[in-house]
Structure 1
Amino acid sequence: MKFFRVRYKQGQRKFETTLEAVHKAEAFKKFRDLSLGVPISIKEVSEPLSMKIERLKSRYTSPIKNRRVKDEPYIAFLDQLATMLDAGMPINICLAESITDTNDEMVRAIFTEVLRDIESGLSLSRAVVGYQRQLGVLSLSMFELGEQTGTLSSAIAKLSSILQQIYDNRQKLKKATRYPLFIIVAMSIAFVIVITFVVPQFQSFFEQSGMELPFPTKLLLWTEHAISTYGPYILSGAILLSAAFSMAYTKNPQLRLKTDQYFLRIYIVGKVTYYAMIGRFIYLFNVLTEAGIPMIDALQIAMGVVENNYIRQELQKIPVAIEDGRSLAQGFSESGQFEGMVMQMIKAGESSGSLGTMLGKVNRVYNSRYDYIVDNVATLIEPILIAAIAGFVLVLALGIFLPMWSMVDLAG
């Protein structure tokens, strides 16, 4: 959009106003529709500060944010909508009742606008196009599929089921990592307390002895000095560095790709991410192809729910291979994300016409692996936590007791 300043006359007095338009002709038409007076000149200008402020204000005050809707209220909304549509009620009444019953402001605001568009003559799939960022590509595709096949209620119910499975997997992971995170936070707090309050009590005692302090003691004293003197600066620097990296990650595709690729190499975290992303991709691809969506479109939609950029880039090779005339199994092989057993299952399913069955079995393989790792996260991380606690206690004990033993030896 561009901005145009229009100067005009009302009687003998001159005024000006700024209009937003694609080109000068549209700006002139908008001004004429306002019937403000006789135009004198129309000139393209930069966006006025007042309009910038108003746009920023509306962005922060509007309930429709530039992010995904929350999963729980959206899934509940879809469940109610699918149930009412399945009962044969008109879509406008179903939407109105579902909007009334939801407690989420963002879901309510989005579908209030959608309902207004539907009542003005648009279809549901056309009305939600402007909310792809908030609802996701999957939602838009399932709405369109339901309208094209005349099974909107079942399509929405299937969408709800897909989103529920993704949400359950995320919650399962959060629950599994809660205990290790608690241990790490508790260790960090204990370390800061000991360094800040315990070590300084021995510092003057050690200094008065005039003896050469061992390395563990020096390490503790250096750490205490750094925390007490530069603690706020270290914390501020860490926050600024994190914010800068987050901004660069969002805006730089190459950094995002490299970071996500490195993320897959991290112990436990990499495998959890890989199994979650691939399992989600296979499950959604299977559901979409079974629902009648063309294979290429189903692949593109399924890749939309893969949040790791590196995995998504590699999966892009599958539709490219199919478009070049190669088989689905060859596309899976070229992506480099699937092991030999999975490749053989895909190839057998494709050649025997039972691809859906095989994809279901592949999905169960990845789900079982994901569940195993998530259910045993505490056990897998336990050796690392024990080693960290032992290292902390060892450094603390050596740092405090070694000089005390040396002083006892000197006194003896």
Structure 2
Amino acid sequence: MAVFEYRALTQQGQTTKGVLEGDGERQIRQMLRDQGLSPIEIRALDGSKKSAGQASGRAQQTHQAWFGAKIKVDELALFTRELYTLLDAGIPLNQALKSLAGQAESKTLTRFLSSLHTRVSEGYSLATAMEMAPAKVSHDIIATIQAGEESGHLDKVLSRLADAVEQRDQLNKKMKTALIYPALMVVVAVLIVFFLMVYVVPKVVSVFDNMQQALPPLTQGLLSVSEFVQNQWPLMLVAAVALWLWSIWLMRQAKWRFKVHTLMMNAPGLKRFLIYAATARWARTLGVLLSSGVPIKDALTISAEVMTLDPMKQAVLKMVTQVREGKTVGTAMTDAGFFPPLLLNLVKTGEGKGQLDNMLLKGAKHYELSVETAAATLVSILEPMLIIIMGGVVLTIVLAIMMPIFEMNQMVG
């Protein structure tokens, strides 16, 4: 028999450590379950091997990153809040997961929760079970849950995490809602112009075919464009799809993606919107990680993953190196060059008072509200611009049709 050292959670959520003898890790897990404990980590005292569950979890996480489904943010928010509620009511973790799996609405979430229940019942920690799950969950979520399990305050960490995920979901929905109308206007405008070019213009302008005089240049140009669209629309469709696929491939190249993101961050009107959105999400993620007990260097590395813009992501990763070298977080953020002044002041104040996590969460709340304002401003600019462009296109088509009629009236007169 071998000797194993373990860390486990009691039914009250407290962390306990100890040593047991057994034939293998599986037997140790069963022994702990018999005692009402949920294992977090099991390893042989000789240190020759770590928990097989953690290694398997990392392998599963790599696999799911490429092939697995992804849990939607709204589903993750609901799951986190409900799990916190059940644990706060004193229900054991495995029973809570079983209950949530039975009431899940989507098949993906059902498989995900069933997998978590199975793994936790086998003795794995919740964080490890999430790494091994058939659906992808962002690393900052798993790291926060792992910190909660290790600290013995999983329920409290889940409460903070639920707030963060719900806020992220609300922000995403507000941003999408703000952009739906401009996107819909663009689609409708393109369809209207295509319809006019293919069906309306040829029939209306065909009445001028028997005229003995040359058509105005604008009308001739419109007819040429209309004829091209009628004859070449399959080629145009193929070209549009090819351009779309090429843009997707291009954005997967780190060099070009960095250039595109840099250009977007410097675009007037878009700059403030993008930076505030990224800053709000990063500050909330880092604040939750720190308040959950994750070390500052690890928290910075994990928080970089929520940055969707490459220049900002690389700047945060550079901050990790600077903090390791002894710089404060506030100084490293100042060197990054894009964080808003208010957040910089909050971070510097928080570091001085030992309340960095609270200040980050306050900053996140402020910039989440600022994102809503910036989104409304962006839409208020886009709407009249799109209307003017659409009106200009329709006016050009109308003029091209009416100009020959005016000339006919002058000839008759």
TM-based fold match above 0.5: yes
Aligned to 2:68: 66
Q: Superposition pairs for residues 294-309 of structure 1, below 5 Å? A: 294-309=295-310
Distance (Å, rounded) in 2 between the aligned partners of 1:187 and 1:241: 20
Q: How far apart are the structure 2 equivalents of 1:364 and 1:95?
A: 30
1:103 aligns with 2:105: yes
Give 1:83's aligned amino acid.
Answer: T
* 1:139 matched residue in structure 2: 141
User: Structure 2 counterpart of 1:104, which letter?
Assistant: S
TM-score with structure 1 length normalisation? 0.77
Indicate yes or no: 2:186 matched with 1:184: yes
Amino acid at match of 1:403: P
Match of 1:373 in 2: 374
2:316 is matched by which residue type in structure 1? Answer: L
Q: How far apart are 1:65 and its partner, in Å? A: 5.3
**Aligned residue identity for 2:287:** N
The one-letter amino acid of 1:409's match is Q
Aligned partners of 1:65 and 1:101: how far apart in 2? 25
Measure the CA separation in 1 of the matches of 2:348 and 2:357. 12
Displacement, 1:266?
A: 4.3
Residue 209 in structure 1 maps to residue 211 in structure 2: yes
What CA distance in whole angstroms lies between the structure 2 residues aligned with 1:296 and 1:364?
23
Q: Could you give the per-residue CA deviations for residues 315-341 of structure 1, whole angstroms, max 9, x where no partner exists?
A: 222212111211212200111112445
Partner letter of residue 321 of structure 2?
V
CA shift at 1:78, angstroms? 2.1
1:303 partner SS: helix
**Structure 1 segment 198-277 matched on structure 2, within 5 A:** 198-250=200-252, 252-266=253-267, 268-277=269-278
Structure 1 contact 317–334 (Cα < 8 Å) conserved: no
Match in the other structure for 1:195: 197
Aligned to 1:93: 95
Give the whole-Å Cα distance in 2 for the aligned partners of 1:88 and 1:395: 70
Distance 1:259 1:131, change over 3 A: farther
Query: Equivalent residue for 1:162?
Result: 164
Cα distance between partner residues in 2 of 1:346 and 1:90 = 38
CA distance in structure 2 between the aligned counterparts of 1:91 and 1:341, rounded to whole angstroms: 40
Q: Kindly provide the CA deviation profile for residues 329-357 of structure 1, in whole angstroms up to 9, marking residues without a partner as x.
A: 22001111124454344333323444345
Stretch deviating more after TM superposition (169-178 or 208-217): 208-217
Report the count of equivalent residues: 349
- Indicate conservation of the 8 Å contact 1:199/1:221, yes or no: yes
Answer whether contact 1:314 1:335 (CA < 8 A) is retained. Answer: yes
Is the contact made by 1:132 and 1:140 (CA closer than 8 Å) also made in structure 2? Answer: no
Change (3 A) 1:339 1:375: closer
Displacement of 1:71: 2.1
RMSD: 2.4
Counterpart check, 1:312 vs 2:284: no
Contact 2:77–2:162 under 8 Å retained in 1: yes
Structure 1 unmatched ranges of 5 or more: 1-61
Q: Distance in 2 between matches of 1:77 and 1:368?
A: 25
Q: How far does residue 361 in structure 1 lie from its aligned partner after superposition?
A: 4.1
Cα displacement (A) at 1:82: 1.5
| Distance change >3 Å, CA 312–CA 97, structure 1 → 2 | same
Q: Which residue of 1 aligns with 2:11?
A: none
Partner of 1:47: none
Q: Distance in 2 between matches of 1:258 and 1:267?
A: 16
Higher-RCO chain (CA-CA 8 Å, sequence separation at least 6): 2
Partner Cα separation in structure 2 for residue 93 and residue 358 of structure 1: 36
Find the counterpart in structure 2 of residue 278 from structure 1. 279
Partner amino acid for 1:328?
V
Shift of 1:153: 1.7
